[in-house]
């Protein structure tokens, strides 16, 4: 029996080993047929045993390398954890509460208890102005929505979000005593949860809380809601259910109605609910039922997330809010204060979370029928034209509202009373202003004192001086009180100055970084990179042989370290907490343990320096990009720089291909190099600009730069992808005659069908956005969710199962030799002279490993494409094409079998590049949260975060899954009887495994270096002006990408190699 | 077993390309005359001086300045190739010990009909007073190379610039003019010295030419332009960071450096290596 791969079977890669290895590989057990039946059976049994041994060895080693990757992941997580702990700002939470009967001044004891009841009647620290309040939060109400549009230049035209909610401005201008409107500046991070904390506690947010947006936790600091609650007020909450998480049990359960806040595709449910339940309460007959209503409208925010501000939906939403506010005004009584505010703004395309100007500039409007508001100067009579004039920090709401309602100021408040609310209708009630500012300043002082005690530090000297001076003025003012003298005014100024000074100090104080912890994190990350360099680039031996020893020593080290860390923590030898100590020492211990396992035999080590142009190029890309992150410009323009790198690689690949001796290699190599470069350049037209890139960048990802929906023409992209992408993939399979077996069903039918359903999904999405179909939104949503879940089931459930059981993409034809004149003369194997010889033609032989593994890539590509907006789908399709093109380049330049670092590194660059091309930036606001609702109608853990990850890091995930292909693509088949005679004991399957894990290690190395660089730069530049805008988000992105890719590489990529190798082994032997 | 793959005989499907060891054209030498030697050194300096003097005007109005300097650059390049370089088809320089078979092989391919004739007369020509024919024999290939530079090399450079990220919808005139400058810098001398010799151009695309003044300056131009992109994204707010300026200056500086450096004995005749035992690191990150 003779096996002859047809001419095309080895495909475009002339593979010298193909024909030879094919001979016995296809049927190793039948190579000796001259012996009698018994010995034959014996032989067969022996071969069977051998191959089972080899298979088991492969499986064991496969689990081993996954263990190594898991260890690397843990090291990364430990390093990132330690750094993050020191880097993200932390603030001590003091449990103290302000109480009604203790004034904040030192030496003033509690009032006689008899006075208490009347105090609560009149107001605690200060005479109250209102009995009741309606606080309406219009989420993401940006300041420029509320003021009349004023053109700043010729290009500045009126947008759809302008002039649609005029009620706030009108009332403030027409009746200044009844209302005022001011810019209301949020402290970043501008997520609703953090803003609500700021708006009720009056203190500054710390960055660590930014991550808890998905699951809010109760506030345990003193806050306005708690004060109102403990004063016996009946509180009602309507709207965004974040309030329930923050203030559990504070609200009247009968009147309160909370709604799911994260369903950003739904513009109306929350708003309709709030309106429906709000107005009955405002009727006179119900006025006794409540004291304070907190209504939280989400429609504007959701319209921003879904459509962007410059959209008709936003205009109509703002008009609706305008009507609502007018109706509330009409229903309001004299004793009720109405507050309308935004908790944050939104950026140019309607998202928020960061600290750009558009995100922090919200609006604050207060209204009262009684007319108590004043302006201290004529200049401030009109609401400011832009948010840059006379802004008030959002924390100022807390003392203002507290004092207006006669509540004590929450203990940890740092805000100041808003002037307009206390200066009297004529704007000259300086005595009152001085009083409220003195109260506030005293509370700030008390808090500062307490905080300094808790920290074990002294009070700030300058603020002490300011305080003393203010008190002096206050005393002189109170002597000649009747004159409302300049002294009151002066003391007011000084108290105010004191408050703002303290605020500045606190901003500085809570930007205290824990440098030792940061350094520990960086050292862990750095040493793990060093180990990875040795493991991935500096070993000559089979990596799978190291596994068991490496893991043993590393886990022993980790165990010892963890115990030591816990012991140190328990005995109190260090300042570190037990957890931190255990994390640090176990990471360090495992590193120490693993080092001897890696470097035991110096003979096995090579200098991990590149040996050729490709290695240097890979190193150059990694290092230069890492250095570039020190500059905010290179961080901002990362997408363009990555394109530059990719084109550089493509040109180098073209040059290298020109040097190939084989004509096919040269032609194919040059063709794919040109293709690679052009595809990258086409993809680069998909852009989502970050604020800092303006004005040199034009967003194309959405319909317009102020939108977050796709243009109608973009809905054609999914159909183009459906039409072309399977054919493109097919052409790469056909190149090695591998479009056989399951491939045609998989690629030609299932993949295409999945893409088609995805296109339908996005058409329905567009129909929903544009209201093209006379179908209810609920029906559309139901159908969409069904379609999306179907695609995901196809990609993950059916796809993975099929991947496990699929045979390699080969087709085996048995034919008489005479019938196949095209096949070259079959070589003759010893002992096979008898009879008419049978020719076995195996199509697709040249790429058995690669084509099978590629199915896994296609499965994930389908799921990731579903999760992208139409423009991003085109980008992911281009990414897939570029990956396949890259594989051909690697093959024609003989880089697949030489373990070159360039393939995995370029995949890393591709992943990063397409991250930007799928509508993302290294900013928090570019996260497309709404994609969690593509396959689901509500938030569901853990699925919703996974979907957002699939959307956000889809490109990196796809690139990571493709990593094994850099060594598997067109890899010649190797079985144990075909390995070089020099190493007869070697199992060729573990050789594959070693190569795969080397490629995976190299890929991780690229991302880990980027992560280390962004981490170090963020730590080093922690006082940089741009820290929170640029360096910190990039650090967070780098860390998350590293962790996600570590997991994907370990579980999907290296894990998937198991089944492709088993599948090949089953057909061709081991 | 991995490294020997490429050298192993290919599968039956691939037809190996005719001669594996190409008779690569030897490095080009500057003509031996005194004026050629002097001017070949002065020329890069002259170009740099041109660039330096026009710097401010270029920053002020790139398009206008690029147009107005292009003729001067072209004239300088024409003058340079005529004075300093042997035109295509003429004998490879005498100093290099070019093997005889290579000579034989290359002569039938030479495009200029007068090539063989001039080959013999090279030594005598200086004595003959027939300077007109001599100049014409150089002016013609120079003009031909110039037309090819504009017709072929400029589009190629334009495409390359766009692929590397030059804007496609704006700055078109700047991109094309920048490409034209780069083409005149790099391609004129290459075409003048080598014509359309396929082997040479295969080597050019593979960055495999031996270093000489012509190749060094061409490679230097590309490398310089590549490096010239580095300062563009920085937020220094300097007017010269606008798109084509740094690339153009990188190209000019790269031209001068490459042209001079490649003539030094240390570099002359060497080739850029892609696989191991390579040259210096910078050389390898070509383009």
| pLDDT mean over A491-519 | 82
CB contact under 8 A, B274 and A612: yes
State the pLDDT at residue B128: 52
User: Which tens digits make up the pLDDT trace of A146-163?
Assistant: 999 887 777 778 888 888
Q: How far apart are CA A279 and CA A257, in angstroms?
A: 13
Residue B195, domain member (yes or no): yes
Q: Is residue B39 part of a domain?
A: yes
Nearest CA in chain B to A637: B233
Quote the crossing angle between the two packed helices A870-892 and A902-917, to the nearest 10°.
170
**Nearest CB to B278 within list A612, A636, A643:** A612
Which of A395, A411, A428 is the last residue before a domain boundary?
A428
In degrees, rounded to 5, the angle at the alpha carbon of residue A349 between the alpha carbons of residues A682 and A390 is 140
Residue B278 has pLDDT above 60, yes or no: no
Could you say which of A14, A613, A643 has the minimum Cβ distance to residue B10? A14
- Average pLDDT in the B190-217 region? 89
Containing structural domain, residue A215: 132-150+158-428
B285 at the A interface (CB within 8 A)?
yes
Chain B positions in Cβ-Cβ contact with residue A894 (cut-off 8 Å): 5-6
B287 Cα to chain A: minimum distance (Å): 7
Per-residue model confidence (pLDDT) at position A508 = 73
B13 and A10 within 8 Å at the Cβ level: the answer is yes
A382-435 residue pLDDT tens: 889 888 888 999 999 999 999 999 889 999 899 999 988 988 888 888 888 888
Per CB-CB distance under 8 Å, the chain A contacts of B18 are none
CB-closest option in B14, B202, B205 to A664? B14
- Tell me how far apart the alpha carbons of residues A240 and A219 are, in angstroms, rounded to a whole number: 16
DSSP-assigned states of every residue in A800-818? HHHHHHPPPS-EEEEE-GG
A674: nearest CA in chain B? B163
Task: Give the integer Cα–Cα distance in Å for B66 and B59.
Answer: 10
The two tokens of residue A845 are 């032989």
Q: Regarding beta strands A235-240 and A179-185, do their DSSP bridges make them parallel or antiparallel, or are they unpaired?
A: unpaired
The alpha carbon of residue A977 is apart from the nearest alpha carbon of chain B, in Å, by 15
In a domain, A621, yes or no: yes
Nearest-Cα residue of chain B relative to residue A693: B233
pLDDT grade for A985, boundaries at 50, 70 and 90: low
Whole-model pTM over 0.80: no
CB-count exposure of residue A734 (10 Å: 0-12, 13-18, 19+):
middle
Residues of chain B positioned with their CB less than 8 A from the CB of A19: 11
Of residues A216 and B25, more confidently modeled: B25
How far off is chain A from B168, nearest CA to CA, in Å? 10
Q: Please say if the pLDDT value at position A847 is more than 90.
A: no
- Asked if residue B1 has pLDDT above 50, the reply is no
B234 Cβ under 8 Å from any chain A Cβ: yes
**Which of A474, A514, A519 minimizes the C-alpha distance to A493?**
A474
What is the residue range of B255's domain? 34-87+132-271
pLDDT tens readout for residues A540-552: 878 888 888 889 9
The verdict on residue B170 lying in a domain is yes
Q: Is pLDDT above 80 for A793?
A: yes
Write the DSSP symbol of residue A367. E
Do A636 and B233 count as a contact with CB atoms less than 8 A apart?
A: yes
The answer, for B284 touching chain A at a CB cutoff of 8 Å, is yes
Looking at residue A684, its pLDDT comes to 94
Task: For A683-742, write each residue's pLDDT tens digit.
Answer: 999 999 888 887 788 888 988 877 778 888 999 999 999 999 999 999 999 888 888 878
Q: Is B235 on the interface with A (CB under 8 A)?
A: yes
Place of tokens 């400029």: B154
Domains in chain B, number:
1
| Average pLDDT over every residue of A558-580 | 82
Query: A120-134, A165-179, A308-322, A833-847 — which is least confidently predicted?
Result: A833-847
Band (A1052; pLDDT cuts 50, 70, 90): very high
- Nearest by CB to residue B11, choosing from A10, A633, A894, is A10
What is the three-state SS of A153-185?
A: CCCCCCCCCCCCCCHHHHHHHHCCCCEEEEEEE
Decide the pairing of beta strands A336-341 and A132-138.
parallel
* Cα gap A817→A398, rounded to integer Å: 91
Determine, for residues A617 and B274 on separate chains, whether the beta-carbon distance falls below 8 Å: no
Lowest mean pLDDT among A29-33, A56-60, A408-412: A29-33
pLDDT of residue A249: 85
**Range with top average pLDDT, A99-113, A585-599, A671-685, A841-855:** A671-685
Residue of B nearest to A609 (CA): B276
Per residue in A432-469, pLDDT (tens digit) is 888 888 889 888 888 888 888 876 666 677 778 888 88
CB A1045 within 8 A of CB A1037: no
**pLDDT confidence tier of residue B115, bands split at 50, 70 and 90:** very low
B170 shares contact with chain A (CB less than 8 Å): no
What is the per-residue burial (b if ≥16 Cβ within 10 Å, else e) of A1011-1042?
Answer: bbbbbbbbbebbeeeebbbbbbbbbbbbbbbb
Q: Which two tokens stand for residue A352?
A: 């928020």
CA distance B125 to B117: 11
Q: Specify the pairing of strand A811-815 against strand A839-843.
A: antiparallel
Q: Which of B5, B11, B274 lies closest to A897 in CB terms?
A: B5
Q: How far is CA B148 from the centre of its chain?
A: 13
Q: Is residue B57 part of a domain?
A: yes
Q: How far apart are CA A26 and CA A45, in angstroms?
A: 17
Mean pLDDT calculated for residue range B226-235: 90
CA distance A586 to A418: 52
Is the CB of B162 inside 8 Å of chain A's CB atoms?
Answer: yes
With an 8 Å Cβ cutoff, is B13 touching chain A? yes
Residues of B in contact with A980 (CB under 8 A): 1
Nearest to B11 among A14, A654, A661 (CB): A14
| C-beta atoms of A644 and B2 within 8 A | no
Mean pLDDT of A979-1005: 80
| Dihedral sign, Cα of residue A54, residue A58, residue A59, residue A61 | positive
Contacts of B285 in chain A (CB under 8 A): 613, 616-617, 620, 648, 652
Contacts of A619 in chain B (CB under 8 A): none
Any domain includes B28: no
The minimal CB distance from A15 to the residues B11, B205, B233 is found for: B11
Dig out the tokens for A35 from the structure. Answer: 């012996």
pLDDT in tens, B7-38: 333 333 333 333 444 466 788 888 888 888 89
Mean pLDDT (whole number) for B188-216: 89
Would you call B208 an interface residue with chain A, using a CB distance cutoff of 8 Å?
A: yes
Mean pLDDT of chain A: 84
* Weakest-pLDDT range from A500-504, A976-980, B217-221: A976-980
Nearest residue on chain B to A7, alpha-carbon basis: B13
| CB proximity B75 to A under 8 Å | no
Q: Which of B203, B233, B237, B271 to mutate to test the interface with A (most CBs of A within 10 A)?
A: B233
Average pLDDT over every residue of A283-287: 89
The answer to whether B123 faces chain A, any CB pair under 8 Å, is no
Residue linked to tokens 């690697």: A890
CB-CB neighbors (< 8 A) of B275 in chain A: 611-613
Residues of A in contact with B273 (CB under 8 A): 612-613
- Residue for token pair 């396929």: B198
- Residue A39 lies inside a defined structural domain of this protein: no
Give the count of Cβ contacts less than 8 A between chain A and B. Answer: 122
Starting at the earlier edge strand, list the strands of the sheet with A839-843.
A2-3, A839-843, A811-815
In a domain? residue A558: no
Q: What confidence score (pLDDT) does residue B275 get?
A: 67
| C-alpha A87: how far from chain center | 18
pLDDT of B23:
60
The span from the CA of A78 to the CA of A602, in Å, is: 29
Do the domain assignments include residue B107? no
Token pair listed for A955: 């490109």
Residue A453 lies in a domain: no
The answer to whether residue B97 scores a pLDDT higher than 50 is no
Q: Is A620–B206 a contact, with Cβ atoms under 8 angstroms apart?
A: no
**Chain A residue with the nearest C-alpha to that of B223:** A648
Count of domains forming chain A: 2
Q: Which residue has the higher pLDDT, B105 or A894?
A: A894
- Give the C-alpha separation, A627 to A1009, whole Å: 10
Chain A residues within an 8 Å CB radius of B233: 633-634, 636-637, 640-641
Substitution target from B165, B169, B209 for chain A, most A beta carbons within 10 A: B165
Selecting from B2, B11, B208 the residue whose C-beta is nearest the C-beta of A897 gives B2
Chain A residue with CA closest to B205: the answer is: A655
* B1, B202, B285 member nearest A616 (Cβ): B285
**Yes or no, beta carbons of B284 and A616 under 8 Å apart:** yes
pLDDT-based confidence at residue A983 (cuts at 50, 70, 90) = low
- Residues A104-124 pLDDT 10s: 876 554 444 444 455 556 778
CB contact, 8 Å: B18 with chain A?
Answer: no
Most confident of A192-201, A557-566, A661-670, A678-687: A678-687
User: Which residue from B16, B206, B276 is facing A659, i.e. has the nearest CB?
Assistant: B206
A519 lies in some domain: no
B160 touches chain A (CB under 8 A): yes
Q: Does any domain span residue B55?
A: yes
Domain boundary among A406, A428, A450: A428
The residue among A407, A428, A449 that closes a domain is A428
Mean pLDDT throughout A305-312?
86
Residue at A371 is within a domain:
yes
Residues of B in contact with A897 (CB under 8 A): 1-2, 5
* Residue B67, in any domain of the structure: yes
pLDDT at A754: 95
């Amino acid at each position: 029996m003779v096996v002859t791969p047809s001419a095309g079977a080895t495909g475009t890669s002339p593979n010298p080993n193909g024909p030879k290895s094919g001979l016995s590989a296809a049927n190793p057990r039948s190579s000796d047929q001259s012996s009698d039946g018994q010995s034959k059976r014996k032989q067969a049994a022996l071969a069977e045993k051998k191959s089972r041994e080899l298979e088991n060895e492969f499986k064991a080693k496969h689990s081993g390398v996954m263990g190594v990757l898991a260890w690397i992941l843990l090291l990364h997580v430990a390093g990132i954890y330690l750094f993050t702990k020191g880097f993200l700002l932390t603030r001590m939470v003091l449990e103290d509460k302000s109480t009604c009967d203790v004034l904040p001044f030192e030496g003033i004891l509690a009032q006689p208890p008899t006075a208490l009841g009347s105090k609560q009647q009149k107001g605690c620290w200060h005479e109250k102005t209102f009995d009741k309040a309606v606080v309406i939060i219009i989420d993401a109400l940006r300041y420029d929505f509320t003021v009349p549009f004023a053109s700043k230049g010729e290009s500045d035209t009126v947008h759809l979000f302008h002039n649609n909610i005029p009620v706030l401005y009108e009332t403030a201008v027409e009746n200044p005593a009844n209302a005022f409107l001011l810019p209301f500046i949020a402290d970043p991070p501008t997520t609703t949860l953090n803003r609500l904390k700021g708006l009720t506690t009056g203190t500054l947010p710390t960055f660590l809380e930014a991550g808890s947006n998905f699951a809010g936790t109760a506030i345990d600091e003193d806050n306005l809601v708690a004060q109102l609650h403990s004063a016996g007020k009946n509180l009602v909450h309507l709207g965004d259910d974040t309030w329930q998480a923050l203030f559990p049990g504070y609200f009247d359960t009968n009147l309160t109605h909370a709604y799911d806040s994260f369903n950003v595709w739904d513009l109306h449910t929350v708003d309709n609910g709030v309106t429906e339940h709000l107005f009955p309460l405002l009727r006179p007959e119900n006025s006794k039922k409540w004291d304070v209503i907190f209504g939280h409208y989400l429609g504007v925010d959701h319209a921003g997330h879904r459509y962007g501000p410059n959209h008709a939906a936003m205009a109509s939403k703002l008009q609706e809010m305008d009507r609502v506010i007018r109706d509330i005004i009409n229903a309001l009584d004299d004793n009720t204060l109405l507050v309308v505010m935004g908790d944050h703004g939104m950026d140019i395309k309607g998202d928020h979370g960061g600290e750009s100007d558009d995100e922090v500039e919200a609006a604050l409007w207060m209204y009262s029928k009684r007319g108590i508001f004043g302006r201290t100067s004529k200049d401030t009579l009109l609401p400011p034209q832009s948010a840059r004039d006379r802004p008030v920090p959002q924390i100022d709401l807390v003392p203002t509202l507290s004092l207006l309602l006669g509540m004590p100021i929450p203990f940890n408040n740092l805000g100041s009373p808003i002037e307009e609310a206390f200066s009297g209708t004529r704007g000259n009630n300086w005595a009152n202003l001085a009083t409220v500012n003195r109260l506030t300043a005293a509370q700030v002082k008390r808090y500062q004192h307490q905080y300094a005690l808790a920290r074990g530090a002294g009070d700030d000297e300058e603020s002490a001086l300011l305080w003393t001076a203010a008190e002096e003025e206050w005393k002189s003012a109170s002597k000649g009180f009747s004159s409302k003298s300049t002294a009151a005014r002066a003391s007011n100024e000084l108290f105010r100055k004191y408050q703002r000074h303290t605020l500045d100090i606190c901003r500085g104080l809570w930007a205290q970084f824990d440098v030792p912890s940061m350094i520990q994190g960086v050292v862990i990350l750095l040493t793990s990179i060093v180990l990875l360099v040795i493991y991935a680039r500096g070993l000559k031996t089979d990596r799978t042989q190291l596994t068991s020893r490496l893991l043993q020593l590393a886990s022993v080290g980790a165990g010892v370290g963890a115990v030591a860390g816990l012991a140190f923590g328990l005995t109190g030898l260090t300042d570190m907490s037990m957890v931190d100590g255990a994390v640090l020492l176990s990471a360090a211990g495992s590193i120490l343990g693993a080092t001897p396992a890696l470097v035991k035999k110096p003979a096995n080590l090579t200098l991990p320096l590149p040996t050729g142009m490709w290695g240097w190029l890979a190193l150059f890309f990694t290092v230069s990009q890492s250095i570039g992150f020190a500059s905010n410009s290179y961080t901002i323009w990362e997408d363009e720089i990555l394109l530059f790198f990719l084109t550089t690689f493509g040109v180098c690949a073209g040059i290298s291909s020109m040097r190939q001796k084989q004509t096919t290699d040269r032609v194919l190599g040059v063709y794919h190099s040109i293709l690679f470069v052009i595809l990258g350049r086409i993809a680069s037209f998909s852009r989502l600009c970050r604020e800092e890139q303006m004005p040199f960048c034009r967003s194309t990802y959405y319909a317009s730069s102020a939108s977050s929906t796709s243009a109608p023409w973009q809905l054609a992209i999914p159909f183009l992808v459906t039409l072309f992408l399977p054919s493109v993939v097919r052409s790469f399979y056909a190149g090695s005659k591998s479009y056989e077996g399951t491939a045609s069903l998989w690629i030609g039918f299932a993949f295409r069908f999945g893409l088609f359903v995805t296109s339908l999904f996005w058409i329905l999405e567009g129909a929903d956005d544009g209201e093209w179909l006379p179908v209810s939104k609920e029906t559309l949503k139901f159908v969409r969710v069904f379609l999306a879940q179907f695609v995901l089931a196809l990609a993950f459930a059916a796809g993975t199962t099929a991947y496990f059981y699929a045979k390699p993409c080969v087709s085996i034809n048995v034919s008489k030799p005479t019938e196949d004149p095209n096949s070259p003369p079959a070589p003759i194997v010893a002992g096979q002279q008898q009879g008419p010889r049978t020719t076995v033609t195996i199509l697709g032989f040249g790429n058995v490993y690669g084509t099978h593994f590629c199915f896994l890539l296609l499965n994930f590509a389908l799921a990731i494409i579903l999760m992208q907006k139409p423009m991003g789908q085109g980008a992911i399709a281009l990414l897939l094409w570029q990956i396949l093109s890259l594989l051909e380049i690697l093959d024609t330049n003989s880089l697949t079998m030489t373990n070159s670092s360039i393939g995995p590194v370029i995949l890393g660059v591709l992943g990063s590049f397409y991250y930007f091309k799928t509508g993302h930036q290294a900013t928090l606001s570019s996260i497309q949260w709404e994609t969690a609702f593509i396959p689901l109608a509500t938030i569901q853990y853990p699925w919703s975060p996974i979907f957002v990850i699939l959307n956000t890091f889809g490109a990196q995930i796809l690139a990571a899954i493709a990593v094994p292909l850099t060594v598997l693509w067109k890899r010649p088949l190797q079985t144990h009887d075909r390995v070089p005679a020099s190493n007869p004991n070697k199992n060729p399957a573990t050789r594959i495994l070693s190569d795969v894990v080397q490629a995976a290690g190299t890929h991780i190395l690229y991302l880990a270096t980027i992560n280390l660089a962004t981490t170090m730069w963020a730590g080093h530049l922690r006082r940089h002006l741009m820290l929170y805008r640029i360096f910190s988000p990039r650090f967070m992105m780098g860390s998350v990408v590293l962790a996600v890719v570590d997991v994907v590489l370990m579980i999907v990529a290296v894990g998937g190699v198991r089944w492709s190798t088993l599948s090949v082994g089953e057909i061709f032997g081991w | 077993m991995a490294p020997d793959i490429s050298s192993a005989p290919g599968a039956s499907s691939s037809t190996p390309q005719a001669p594996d060891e190409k008779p690569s054209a030897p490095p080009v030498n500057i003509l031996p005359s005194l004026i050629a030697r002097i001017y070949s050194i002065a020329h890069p300096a002259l170009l740099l001086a041109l660039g330096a003097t026009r710097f401010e005007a270029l920053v002020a109005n790139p398009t206008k300045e690029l147009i107005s300097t292009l003729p001067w650059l072209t004239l300088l390049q024409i003058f340079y190739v005529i004075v300093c370089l042997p035109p295509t088809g003429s004998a490879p320089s005498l100093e290099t010990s070019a093997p005889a078979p290579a000579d034989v092989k290359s002569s039938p391919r030479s495009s200029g009909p007068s090539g063989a004739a001039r080959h013999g007369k090279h030594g005598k020509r200086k004595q003959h007073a027939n300077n007109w024919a001599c100049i014409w024999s150089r002016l013609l290939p120079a003009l031909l190379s110039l037309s090819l530079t504009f017709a072929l090399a400029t589009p190629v450079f334009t495409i390359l610039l766009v692929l590397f990220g030059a804007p496609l919808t704006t700055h078109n005139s700047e991109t094309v003019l920048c490409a034209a400058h780069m083409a005149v810098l790099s391609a004129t001398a290459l075409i003048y010295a080598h014509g359309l010799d396929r082997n040479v151009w295969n080597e050019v695309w593979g960055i495999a030419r031996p270093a000489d003044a012509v190749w060094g300056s061409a490679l230097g131009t590309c490398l310089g332009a590549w490096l010239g992109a580095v300062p563009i994204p920085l937020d220094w707010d300097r007017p010269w960071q606008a798109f084509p300026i740094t690339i153009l200056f990188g190209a000019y500086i790269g031209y001068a450096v490459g042209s001079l450096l490649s003539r030094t004995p240390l570099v002359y005749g060497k080739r850029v290596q892609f696989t191991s035992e390579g040259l210096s690191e910078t050389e390898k990150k070509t383009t």
